[in-house]
Chain A
């Protein structure tokens, strides 16, 4: 158990809908990273938050947004969903502001299926 909690584990929804994925980092970790994993793209970085502030953005679509709350949990909001958004979404946490030479602790992921 990595100590990172993601909910829900599975999510099935329809095109055009909006969903929210939740992540609670390990106790003491201030950084939360969101990744998308699909069979054809591998693990793709979406966004990083440190202590409530956005620190880095990757290949995140404009339809997607995220935030980190004062209690350090994070939410990833996906709207106007398309079939191609079906994927595994992981969050990872670490202690520091940047992942420099630091291992990431991953949650078990949320499997999103858009029908």
Chain B
């Protein structure tokens, strides 16, 4: 069974204090790993897709990286508007194409 574990569950940062969120996964043949951002009262919003170990993608203050067992979402010099829950999802190879989501990391950035 595909498993996705995100840590920490919650993270509080001061504005400008860089950090990383972790997504560990167990899947038979990774087809893709997705990062989403979810604001309170809204649905998840797509950020990145990573396909193979060693791949990196960046968007503004966010950088996602992928290894064979985990992915990191690095947040550089965060701002209060980066506060949100960040969700990781994995898609396995084979017949099942439905992404399995982790429970997310709730990030709060204080000004």
Which of B63-71, B73-81, B99-107 makes up part of the contact surface? Answer: B99-107
Binary interface encoding of chain A residues 4-42 relative to chain B, with 1 for a CB under 8 A from any of its CBs, else 0: 100000000000000000000000000001010000001
Complex: A90 Cα to B97 Cα, angstroms: 18
A13 to chain B, nearest CB (A): 20
Residues of B within 8 A of A43 (CB): 44, 87, 89, 101
Q: Is the CB of A56 within 8 A of B46?
A: no
Q: Report how far A99 CA is from B31 CA in the complex, Å.
A: 11
Q: Are B43 and A101 in contact (CB under 8 A)?
A: no
A103 near B34 (CB under 8 angstroms)? yes
A45, A90, A103: which contacts B46 (Cβ < 8 A)?
A103
A108 touches B98 (CB 8 A): no
A78 to B86, CA, bound (A): 28
Q: Are A101 and B31 in contact (CB under 8 A)?
A: yes
User: Residue A48 at the B interface, CB < 8 A?
Assistant: yes
Contact B98 A56, beta carbon cutoff 8 Å: yes
Asked if B59 lies at the interface with its beta carbon under 8 angstroms from chain A, I say: no
Residues of chain A within 8 A (CB-CB) of B103 are: 42
Interface size on A, residues (CB 8 A): 24
- Cβ-based interface call for A105 (8 A): yes
Partner of A98, one of B34, B42, B97: B97
CB of A106 closer than 8 Å to a CB of B: yes
| Cross-chain contact B43 with A92 (CB below 8 angstroms) | yes
B36 contact set on A, CB distance < 8 A: 106
CA distance A44 to B41 in the complex (A): 17
Q: Point out the residues of chain A lying under 8 angstroms from B96, CB to CB.
A: 56
Is the CB of A65 closer than 8 A to any CB of chain B?
no
Report which residue of B96, B98, B100 has the largest number of chain A beta carbons within 10 angstroms of its beta carbon. B98
